[in-house]
Structure 1
Amino acid sequence: MRNRQRLVSGGLAAAVAMVSTATGLGVTSAVASPQPHHRAAAAAACVPVPLWANTGGGGDRLIEYNPLTGAELQNVPIARDYGDIAFSADGTTLYGVTFLGAPRLVVINTGTGAETSTVAVSGPAASPGVLNALTSLSNGMLLTATSRSGNLYTIDPATGVSTAFPAQFPPGITSAGDLTQLSDGDILALGATSTGTTVAFRIAPDNTLTEIGTLPRSFGVTQSGGQVYVFESGGNIDQLTSVPTAPSTAPLPFTVLAATGRPFFGAGSAQDSGQCNLQPGTSYSVAKASSPTGPVCPGDRVTYTVTVKNTGTTPYFGDSAGFVDDLSKVLDHATVVGSPTASAGTATISGTTLTWAGPLNVGDTVTVTYTVKVRAHARGHLTNNVQPTAPGGSCATMGGCTTSTDIKRHGRWWAAK
C-alpha cells in the first residue's frame, strides 16, 4: 500500500518523464494536390496544455513541463508538501491539498508557488486525513481520496466541506495517489494493493467500478491534449497508449518519454476535469500582408506574408497553433508560384486553401509566405482572408486578416464582376 508518510521519513524519491503527444516540430512546406486537410482542425479539437507537478519530502517545488518534450517551462518553490494538486474545472485555478496534519485545501499561484488562500477541509474526509489524490470534476467539485482507506470524497472548493462519494475502491484497495475525470465522463482512479501494485479503475457515471489493468507503482495521473499521463514512483511519466473500457488485470500499455529524478507527490493540468480547457494566458494573433499592395498587372507577382505571434504566457505545443487562408478569390485570377514557406511548423496548399499548423512558444513569431502570378487577361481584385483555427487565436488588428489587391489592365482599373 502506498504511504507517503514513509516517503517523507525515508526520503524515497520518485522521478518523472514525459511522452510526446504529437509530432510535427520540424519546419516543412508543400503544395499538395486537392484533398481534405485536417491537421489544424485536429489540433483545435483539444490543444495540449502544460503538465504541472509538485515535489515533496523536502525541497518542495511546483514544476511546469512541456507535455511533448518533458522540458521544464517553470520551476518555483512551494510552501509545503501537498498530497496532490489539481486545476479547477474551468482550468483557471490551481488547488493543492495538504498531506500531513489536518487537511487543508489551498489555492496556489502558478507563477510564484505562493499560497493565495486556504480553507480547512471539513466533513468525512477530515477524519482519515493523509489525502493523497485530487482532481476536478466537470460539475465544479473536487474529488479526493486517502491512502488510509478505500473511500473517496468530494470537496466543495469554495467552503472545504467534504462529502462521501458514492463509489469507493474495492476491499483491500486504497488510493495510490491520483485520479482524473476522462472526456467520456468516467473517472480514472489509481488504487494500490497492500503490496504496492497500482491498479487502474474506471468509475462510471452510475458509480460502478471496473478494473481495467495494472501499472507500475504510480503516484499521479493527469491529461493533456486528449492524452493520459501516469506518474510512476520509480521516476517516469508514462503516456497510456489507450485507456481500456473492458475489465482486465493485464498491464496497461504505455510509452515512456524521460526521467527527471524528482520526488513527485502529485500532478495536474488545466484539463484535469476532462474538458479541453486552455491554460490562462493562452493566445496568439494572426496578421496578413501583401507585396506589392497594388495595383498590379497581368504577369506581376504578389507575395503574401502571414505573421503568427504568441501574445500570451503559455506555449502552443506541436501542431496546436494554426490558421487557414482562403485563396479562392486569389486563384480566380492568379496561379501559385513555387511552394509556401514557413519559419516553423507546416504550410500546405490544398485546392484553394492554405493551411498552417505548428508550435508557437511564448514570445515567438512565425512567418508563412507564398507567391502568386497574375494570369493574362485577369481583372478585378485579388482578395483573401486568413482565420486562426486554434483556441485563443485572433486577428492582430481589425481588418488585419484580409488583403485586397486591385488588378489594372491597359492603364484602366477593372471593377470586380
Structure 2
Amino acid sequence: MVNHRRPVLGRVLTSAAIGLVLAATGSGLAQAGESPAPAVSQQRAVCPPTPLWANTGGATRTLIQYDDAGNPISTAPLIRDYGDIAFSPNGSTLYGINFPDTATLYTIDPVTGAETSSTPITGPLAGVTAINGLTARADGMLIVGSFATSQIFLLDPATGVSTPFPASFPAGIVSAGDFITLDDGDILAFGSPDTTSPSPVFRIRPDNTVVQIGTVPQTFGAAKSAGQVYAFASNGDINQLNSLPTTASTAALPVTTIKATGEGFYGATSTQDAGTCVAPAYTIAKKATPAGTAKEGDTITYTVTVKNTGTTAAAGNFSDDLSDVLDDATLVAGSVTSTSGTATVTDDTLNWTGTLAPGATATVTYQVQVNTPDNGDRLLTNVAVPTAPGGTCATTRGCTTTIEVDENCDKPDHGGYGDDGYGDNGYGDGKSKTPWRKPTTLTP
C-alpha cells in the first residue's frame, strides 16, 4: 500500500537530533541532557471504554469507528483528506483539519461524515502546511502539530485564532500525528524524524518540560480508551501501547497489534483524548404487538427502539436472536425495516448497525406469522442485546419479549365456543349444541 500522506522532507534527519530530555518554554528549548523539573501530575479516575475513531484518506476517504479490539463499528464517507480529527472535551463536536494545504478547521457530522462548518485559521498557524496533529485539551482549546515544523500550536476552535504552544518538539523532530492527555495529566506527543523511521514518543509535563520515553512503529494518529492508548500506524495496524514510562528512553516501547486493518490512516481520536471521561450511552427498548398471547395464524409485529442517551455520537448496534421465535413462526418476507442504519437477518439472527447523534432515535421493526399448526414449544421468546460500547436496556426487561401461543379453541375437545356460535356447555365432550344465551338474573 502506498501512503501519500507525508511529504518528503527536504533534509535528512537523524536520531542524533533527538534530545532525551528537553525543557521547553515560550522562549525556546534548553540543552539536551538537562534534568527536568519534577512533574506536577494528578492521577485521574479510569474512564469506561469508549470507541476509537479514525479517518483514512486518498482514494477511499472514510471515517471509521472501532471498538477497543479493533473491530469496525460503523463507517461514513468523508469529502476531503484531514490531517487529523479530534473530539471536543464533551464529545459533542468532531473537528477535522485539512491536509496538506493551508489550514482550515472543519466540523464533521460523525454520523454522516458531512462537513457542517468551516473556520479560517489566523495567527502563526495560518501559513503552516501539512498539519497532521489535532487534539482537544480539557479547556476546549485544540493542540495542533505539523509535519513541516517542530513548533506545536494552540487553536481556539470558536475563533480560528492560533498561538504558539509553550512547548515544542526537539530540533529535527516534527509532529507524527497526534497528542493525548494521559490520566496522570501529562500530554503524550508522537514525533517523527523522517518519512520512514519509527515515531519517537514524548511526555509533555505540566511544567512544559519535554521528555522522550521511547519509540513506536511509525504512527499517524492515536486515541485513548479507558486509560489505554492506541496508536494508528502508517501500515494500517492498530497498536496498543503496553506501557508508558515516565523516565527518559529511546528504546522501543512494547506494543500489541490488536488489528492489522490495511487501512491508510491519516488520523485518530476518541472522546477521552482531552483527559475527560466521556463515554457513549444508548438504550434499547423492545415490544411486541399483540403482547402476551397470540393464536395460530396471527401476525406479530416487533418494534425495537434505540436511543442515544449520551453527549456524543454513538453506535446503537444490537443483535436479536430469533431462534426461539422461528420454531413457532415464520418471518414475514420484506417486513424488516429501520428508520436509519442497516438491519439484516442472517440465519436466525437480526442485526442492526447505525450511529446516532446525541438524543437521536432509530426504530427497527419486523413481523412474524405464527405457524398453523404450531408444532414448536408455543413460546416466542427473544432478547435484543446491545453489541456496541455503552448499550443498556431501557428497563430491567425492556429488551425481552415473550408471547405464548394459545391452544386452538376451535378443537371439539376444548371448552369454549366454536366458530358456529354453539358451545359444549363447558363439558368438553363436543356433543352438546345448545345455542349460547346470556344468563338471566332471577329476582326472588
TM bucket (normalised to shorter chain) is 0.5 to 0.7
- State how far apart, in whole Å, the 1-side matches of 2:186 and 2:391 are: 28
Q: TM-score, normalised by structure 2?
A: 0.56
Quote the offset at 1:311 in angstroms: 4.4
**Does the 8 Å contact 2:219/2:233 carry over to 1?**
yes
SS at 2:315's partner residue? Answer: coil
1:131-146 to 2 correspondence within 5 Å? 131-146=131-146
Q: Which amino acid aligns with 1:97?
A: I
Matched, 1:169 2:166: no
Q: TM-score, normalised by structure 1?
A: 0.60
Q: 1:386 corresponds to which residue?
A: none
SS at 1:210's partner residue? Answer: strand
Query: CA 1:57–1:140 in 2, change beyond 3 Å: closer, same or farther?
Result: same
- State how far apart, in whole Å, the 2-side matches of 1:391 and 1:112 are: 20
Quote the offset at 1:227 in angstroms: 1.0
- State how far apart, in whole Å, the 2-side matches of 1:204 and 1:148 are: 23
Quote the offset at 1:158 in angstroms: 0.6
Q: 2:370 corresponds to which residue?
A: none
Q: 1:116 corresponds to which residue?
A: 116
Quote the offset at 1:116 in angstroms: 0.3
Query: CA 1:3–1:186 in 2, change beyond 3 Å: closer, same or farther?
Result: farther
Q: Which amino acid aligns with 1:245?
A: T
The CA deviation string for residues 354-378 of structure 1, in whole angstroms up to 9 with x for no partner, is xxxxxxxx997459xxxxxxxxxxx
Query: Hey, which of these two has a bigger chunk of helix by percent?
Result: 1
Kindly tell me the number of residue pairs found equivalent between the two proteins: 273
**Does the 8 Å contact 2:6/2:147 carry over to 1?**
no
Q: 1:215 corresponds to which residue?
A: 216
Q: Which amino acid aligns with 2:260?
A: A
Q: 1:54 corresponds to which residue?
A: 55
Query: Hey, which of these two has a bigger chunk of strand by percent?
Result: 1
The CA deviation string for residues 43-101 of structure 1, in whole angstroms up to 9 with x for no partner, is x9522111111111222111111222x22211111110000001001111110011122
Q: Which amino acid aligns with 1:230?
A: A
**Does the 8 Å contact 1:189/1:202 carry over to 2?**
yes
Quote the offset at 1:270 in angstroms: 1.1
- State how far apart, in whole Å, the 2-side matches of 1:210 and 1:259 are: 29
- State how far apart, in whole Å, the 2-side matches of 1:285 and 1:182 are: 33
Quote the offset at 1:396 in angstroms: 3.3
Quote the offset at 1:244 in angstroms: 1.2
After superposition, the CA RMSD in angstroms is 3.1
1:190-269 to 2 correspondence within 5 Å? 190-194=190-194, 196-269=197-270
Q: Tell me, which stretches of 5 or more residues in structure 2 are unaligned?
A: 9-44, 287-304, 309-313, 319-362, 365-382, 397-444
**Does the 8 Å contact 2:86/2:136 carry over to 1?**
yes
Matched, 1:94 2:69: no
- State how far apart, in whole Å, the 2-side matches of 1:392 and 1:275 are: 20
- State how far apart, in whole Å, the 1-side matches of 2:153 and 2:72 are: 32
**Does the 8 Å contact 1:183/1:275 carry over to 2?**
no
- State how far apart, in whole Å, the 2-side matches of 1:257 and 1:162 are: 36
Q: 2:282 corresponds to which residue?
A: 283
Quote the offset at 1:127 in angstroms: 1.6
Runs of 4+ in 1 over 3 A off after TM superposition: 284-287, 309-317, 362-367, 390-397
Query: CA 1:139–1:392 in 2, change beyond 3 Å: closer, same or farther?
Result: farther
Q: 1:80 corresponds to which residue?
A: 80
Quote the offset at 1:391 in angstroms: 7.7
Further displaced range: 231-240 or 188-197: 188-197
Q: Which amino acid aligns with 1:118?
A: S
Q: Tell me, which stretches of 5 or more residues in structure 1 are unaligned?
A: 8-43, 288-308, 318-361, 368-389, 398-417
**Does the 8 Å contact 1:310/1:365 carry over to 2?**
no
SS at 2:149's partner residue? Answer: coil
Quote the offset at 1:252 in angstroms: 0.6
**Does the 8 Å contact 1:49/1:316 carry over to 2?**
no
Larger Rg over CA atoms? 2
Quote the offset at 1:161 in angstroms: 0.8
